[in-house]
Structure 1
Amino acid sequence: MTLPFFVYGTLRPGETNHDRFLRGRTSSEEPGRLTGSVLYDGPGYPYAVDEPGGVVHGELVTARPGDYRELLAVLDRLEEYAPGDARNLYERVERGVVRARDGLVMQAWVYVAAPPAAARLRAGGRRIEGGDWRIRS
């Protein structure tokens, strides 16, 4: 299934991994928000963790035609995600993301904290209030 990606940390425009992994591979990037999740600070990058009532701010990124499979593989490697691997720190899941310009809910791939990582973060992680990696304190 070809879906856009929702990015909320180092892949956002202006952040360290945007130029390395997304530049030249996208046809659109637009603000959006993921509801039902909150952000936790990781070692240099954030984790989205499911939590009712929460919101995470980021961008909906659509791959250029013909670049989707390559971009999917690149992002899976970056996030160290392998389907079904119990060692994953992130899981790639399909979620509804609200597009900022018109409020339309778009289905998108989102890398969220895998269950063991989410449990550790809930127990002792530092939550990013407001759900925006760019304005973390």
Structure 2
Amino acid sequence: MITSEPAEPGTPLPFFVYGTLRPGEANHDLFLRGRTASEEPARLPGAALYDGPGYPYAVEREGADVRGELVTARPESYDDLLAALDRLEEYVPGDPRNLYERVARQVVRADGSTAPAWVYLAAPHVAARLLATGTRIDGGDWLSRR
């Protein structure tokens, strides 16, 4: 189920990252270093991963999973990190030109428990193009493309 807001408005959510924000990738240290309380393996069910020009897109798709990390921001860093990630993903609420939409989704931790998290999914116009002609990353793991 996709929602645009967490169950409790104003509640800080962790972030599910699946591409250039993962450990060892180009944007991890630039955006996350020193701002996180924890990072743990997780997966996003009901989504497939597609290769973009240098970065990935998660697209809703039943029967698929995307691999990544569940990142919990330090409380004092949350607002700045949310704003920084929105800028990185060029996400502006309600803008039809968005490449990504930030949505609240349930992700699955390694122990099988679930947690709500912010996820940047491909915006509808991008998702439609990727589903029609995009290159899917088998196994849903951006790191496997190496």
Question: Which TM-score band (shorter chain)?
Answer: over 0.9
Gaps of 5+ in 2: 1-10
2:41 and 2:100 map into 1 onto residues whose CA distance is 22
1:105 maps to what in 2?
Answer: 114
After superposition, the C-alpha distances for 1:50-95 in whole angstroms (9 at most, x for unaligned) are 0001100000000012110000000000000000000000000000
1:121 maps to what in 2?
Answer: 130
Q: Report the AA paired with residue 10 of structure 1.
A: T
Gaps of 5+ in 1: none
1:91 maps to what in 2?
Answer: 101
- Please state whether the residue corresponding to 1:87 is helix, strand or coil: coil
After superposition, the C-alpha distances for 1:25-53 in whole angstroms (9 at most, x for unaligned) are 00000000000000000000000000001
1:17 maps to what in 2?
Answer: 27
Matched, 1:82 2:92: yes
1:28 maps to what in 2?
Answer: 38
Runs in 1 of length 4+ with deviation above 3 angstroms? none
1:42 maps to which of 52, 75, 85 = 52
1:55 maps to which of 62, 65, 77 = 65
TM-score by length of 2: 0.92
Q: How much identity, in percent, do the aligned residues show?
A: 72
1:108 and 1:95 map into 2 onto residues whose CA distance is 6
Q: Report the AA paired with residue 77 of structure 2.
A: D
TM-score by length of 1: 0.98
Give the number of aligned pairs.
Answer: 136
2:78 and 2:112 map into 1 onto residues whose CA distance is 25
